[in-house]
Structure 1
């Protein structure tokens, strides 16, 4: 697949995958951290306040208990009134905390435990009121008996119900803490795993991209070195559609063009050795400057063979007694020397023939001294 992509696209895809992996790791990390924060938030803002409010109730129940006890111990009305005010203030605090608990508790188990608390409180407050009435009526002995009996029992039941709620909320806190810890551990494991996976994928993709570039480049480099040393006997091909593939195919085209030109050169050389001087290379099989080279070689052969054919024809005619006219075509260099020599030969033969004719005619005429 990578071979069908441009180099720029490959690099962009590699960077995109790396960035995507980082985004995924970051997103997972943020998601898990958000979950942990949610668990911590539940502990801090939900579970813990409920425990605090329940403990406030216990503290104020104890305040009420001490105030009730003190009402039996104090002597003056002012001291009794002060203890009564403490009971009233404590009841207000307890009512406030119960109201907060009622608004914040949403689980069925929690609501059930809160209901038990309210019922126990109702019984306890009932005995408190009865105690205070006896106290106001001056029946301290009966009040003391009530305090040590039903009032104390109802207080114990009340405190037990509150402690049950505290234990319940504490267990929820511990559960939330455990879940947060487990979530933190799993988050750490997940992030490490995803990070390692992202690194492995990035390295793997980088390796594939690098190999898709360096391997054909190395092949082209090796081919170029061979061509520089005159060795065109190698195989170079690529189906890749990127820029590197285009370079490989271009170098292969150069190889094939040079091989074709070499084949034609060998053809002409072999023909020359065999004396087939009329043999020519097919210039149409070549392109550009390679075609110009082949055309130039053909023209060179024509320039060589033309004068040689003329010389051969003249020698043949002379050998047969057919003395041709002197060569008037223009030639250059050594070919012009051959032309001049042939013309000199023609002149010499013509003179020889003329002299022979003169001697023959003189002999016929009896002029033997000629």
Structure 2
């Protein structure tokens, strides 16, 4: 139905009876759909979430539904921006509340939270291992099952761990040999690289 003053409906819309009332209600609803639904949905699709949703009467169902949609998307964007800012600022434990959402919106936020978990886990474990090494604890390496660049982090940290552990082990070995009077004992410098090899070479000498 589309109101046209030249149509049959147009001839009856100003009637002061039930037919006129019904036609006016239908016309109002149609105009509401045109102004408050189609146009607003186009704006939402374009990323414009600032439109005011106008309610048409107490029985308007389109307006509230559209308003809920607009608010849900706004909240989704706000939480996504919050998570991005938190990650950039190093607040890696920050997460959005998934329970605020329903359906696919909840899946989006859950996915972002899960992505952050996957990114943060190897960083946290690497921090724990490196802090332990800094405290002289060489009994703990990275154990997590990681893939891609996260696996590279694990490999690099564990290589560092093994290099320091081997340096300490060979140094202790040479010291113990010297204390025991075994002055011909030497460590294998080929097991070490860089400054670590120089340290062992110096102790050997």
TM-score of the two chains, using structure 1 as the length reference = 0.42
Q: Deviations over 1:224-279 (max 9, x none)?
A: 1111111112211425466xx32332222111111111111122122222221111
Task: Deviation per CA, 1:288-324: give whole Å up to 9, x if none.
Answer: 1111211121111111111110001111111121113
Q: Does 1:318 align with 2:133?
A: yes
Q: RMSD of aligned C-alpha atoms?
A: 2.8
Query: Contact 2:138–2:165 (CA<8 Å) still a contact in 1?
Result: yes
Question: 1:257 — aligned with what?
Answer: 72
Question: CA, structure 1 residues 201+302, in 2 after alignment: closer, same or farther (shift >3 Å)?
Answer: same
SS of alignment partner, residue 201 of structure 1: coil
Determine which of 107, 112, 118 is the counterpart of 1:303: 118
What are the residue-to-residue correspondences of 1:146-225 with 2, within 5 Å?
Answer: 201=15, 209-225=26-42
After superposition, residues 1-370 of structure 1 pair within 5 angstroms as 18=12, 201=15, 209-240=26-57, 245-364=60-179, 365=181, 367=183, 370=186
TM (norm. structure 2) is: 0.73
Say if 1:324 and 1:346, in contact at 8 Å, map to a contact too.
no
Q: Following superposition, which runs of at least 4 residues in structure 1 exceed 6 angstroms of deviation?
A: none
The answer on whether the counterparts of 1:261 and 1:294 sit within 8 Å (CA) in structure 2 is yes
Looking at structure 1, the residues matched to 14 and 109 of structure 2 have their Cα atoms a distance apart, in angstroms, of: 56
Counterparts in 2 of 1:215 and 1:318: CA distance versus 1, 3 Å:
same
Give the Cα separation in 1 of the matches to 2:14 and 2:44. Answer: 40
Q: Structure 2: 5+ residue runs without aligned partners?
A: 2-7, 187-205
In the alignment, the residues of structure 2 paired with residue 252 and residue 312 of structure 1 have an alpha-carbon distance, to the nearest angstrom, of 45
- Give per-residue Cα distances to partners, 1:17-44, cap 9 Å, x unaligned: 94xxxxxxxxxxxxxxxxxxxxxxxxxx
Q: Pick the structure with greater CA Rg.
A: 1
Contact 2:49 2:70 in 1 (8 A): yes
8 Å contact kept, 2:132–2:140: no
Instruction: Report if aligned partners of 1:283, 1:295 keep a CA contact under 8 Å in 2.
Output: yes
Asked if the contact 1:268–1:279 (Cα under 8 Å) also holds between the matched residues in 2, the reply is yes
Deviations 1:79-120 (A, max 9, x none): xxxxxxxxxxxxxxxxxxxxxxxxxxxxxxxxxxxxxxxxxx
Q: Distance in 2 between matches of 1:335 and 1:274?
A: 20
Number of aligned positions between the proteins: 174
Q: Deviations over 1:186-232 (max 9, x none)?
A: xxxxxxxxxxxxx8538x86566424421442222221111111111
Match of 1:53 in 2: none
Unaligned runs of 5+ in 1: 1-6, 8-13, 19-198
Change (3 A) 1:246 1:274: same
* Structure number with higher helix proportion: 1
